[in-house]
Amino acid sequence: MRLEKYIATSGIASRRAVKRAIREGRVTVNGTEILIPGHPINVELDSVEFEGKQVEPLTERIYLMLNKPAGYLTTRRDERGRPTVMDLLTELPESIYPVGRLDLETEGLLLFTNDGNFANRLMHPSHEVDKTYLAWVNGVPTDRALDRLRNGISIPGGTTSPAKIKLLNVKHTQASTAKKKTGKNESLSKFRVIIHEGKKRQIRLMFKTVGHRVIRLKRTHIGELGLGNLPQGQYRFLTPAEVAQLQT
C-alpha cells in the first residue's frame, strides 16, 4: 500500500496533508525518513510514524448520511474541478467514501462509510435493499405506462427489475403561451418510486421510455432509513441501531 494512503486511512489526516508532511520530512518508515510520496509499505510488517507518533490501522468504522443537494457529483474528486459530495464533508477523514451514487441533479439520501463490507452489503443487487425516491414528472403517465414501469422495462443498461410506483398527486400549472393556443394545460405528477437496483440514471430513463421527463428526483430512504428533517447539504452520523438495521 502507498504510504500516504495508509496514513490517511488511519484517520490522522487527509491524503493531501499526508503528502505534504512526507515532503517536509515528518514521516518515517522503520525509523527511516521518507521524503517522496508513493513509497510502498507492507502494512503488516512496517512501522510507520507520523510526526513522531506510531500510526495504527484504523479500527473505528464511520457511517453517516448526507442530504445531497443537486449540482454535486457523487465522486471523491473531479478532474474538471466541479463540486463533489466530498466538498460537503471537509471536516471528515478522506478514508470515507460514498456508498453507491446519486446523479448530478438528483438530491437526497446518500450514505458514506469506510467499511467495505457494509458498503458491499448495500450496493450488491443480490441483497435487494429498497431505495425510495420522490419523482416529479412532466405530464401524467397512463395506467398502461405505469404498469410497464412496475413490471420491468428495457432501458439503456438493461431491463429493470419490477418497481413499486405510486402516484401521490397531480398539479396543473399555467400553460405556456404556445400551449395556450392549443388549449392544453401543463401537469406535473409526483410519484413515490421504490427500486432495489442502481442502474445509471435508472428512474429518469424509466419515465423517459414511457414518454415523460423527470423534472426533479430525490431519494428519501435506503431500506428503513430515512432522511427525516436533515437539512439539505448537511450530514449526520448513523446510530448503532441504524447501522445494524441496514445490515439485516
Known catalytic residues? 103
Residue 28 makes CB contacts below 8 A (sequence gap 6+) with 34, 48, 49
> E strands along the chain, which residues?
27-29, 32-33, 48-50, 53-54, 63-68, 97-99, 107-113, 131-138, 154-155, 158-159, 164-173, 186-195, 214-222, 225-226, 235-237
CA distance 167 to 83: 33
- Phi–psi pair at 118, nearest 5 degrees: -60, -45
The C-alpha angle 157, 75, 135, rounded to 5 degrees, equals 55
Q: Can you name the residues that pair with 216 across neighbouring β-strands?
A: 136
Secondary structure of residue 107 in the 3-state scheme: strand
